[in-house]
Amino acid sequence: MANRTTPYGAFNYRVEFDGGEVFGGFSDVSGIGTEVTVAEYRNGNEKENHVRKVAGIHKVSDVTLKRGILNSKSLWDWLAATRTQGPAAQRSVVITLLDEAQKPVQAWVLRGAIPMKYTGPTLAGKGGGDVAMEEIVLSAEGFEIAA
């Protein structure tokens, strides 16, 4: 395959739960990331007056998913399971970027994910054509990037 010179579009992706379950299409996915904390350390016998940077623990950013409301309570059921079952409700979530031919380009894997926040739609009787949206924020224990 020839080297690609243009970046992939951010609009072609798939969100899967536990290896294939799809809760409907999400219009927005944001917050994918991880961070490594850095501790500063200085030996007392250093000749030069500077600190060393030592890698510490890492954490995964919270990921927000938004979608139009469907005739489904699957996201709410997962949140309810998290409230009653604790760690037993953890799932793996895979967010896969697709190319123009719908082939996977890169995937972000959230391990040990649980929903930490659910927000329902803003409802207004102004007669507009807005879609009723719901939002769920996921907290994950682990993060990987798969090719």
Domain assignment present for 98: yes
Helical spans, DSSP H, in the chain: 74-85
Residue 33 confidence (pLDDT): 95
Domain assignment present for 79: yes
Please report which helix (H) or strand (E) contains residue 129, including its range: none
Q: How many domains does the chain have?
A: 1
Domain assignment present for 47: no
Q: Give the CATH number for residue 27.
A: 2.30.110.20
Domain assignment present for 54: no
Domain assignment present for 123: yes
Residue 2 confidence (pLDDT): 56
d(CA 92, CA 125): 38
Comparing 94 with 3, which gets the higher pLDDT?
94
pTM assigned to the model: 0.85
Convert the pLDDT of each residue in 67-106 to its tens digit: 998 877 888 889 999 999 999 999 999 999 999 999 999 9
Handedness of CA 96, 108, 28, 105 (dihedral sign): negative
Convert the pLDDT of each residue in 96-139 to its tens digit: 999 999 999 999 999 999 999 999 888 888 767 788 899 999 99
Domain assignment present for 117: yes
Comparing 23 with 136, which gets the higher pLDDT?
136
Q: Which residue in 141, 75, 87 sits closest to 109, CA to CA?
A: 141
d(CA 35, CA 60): 6
Comparing 145 with 49, which gets the higher pLDDT?
145
Residue numbers of the domain that contains 93: 13-33+61-146
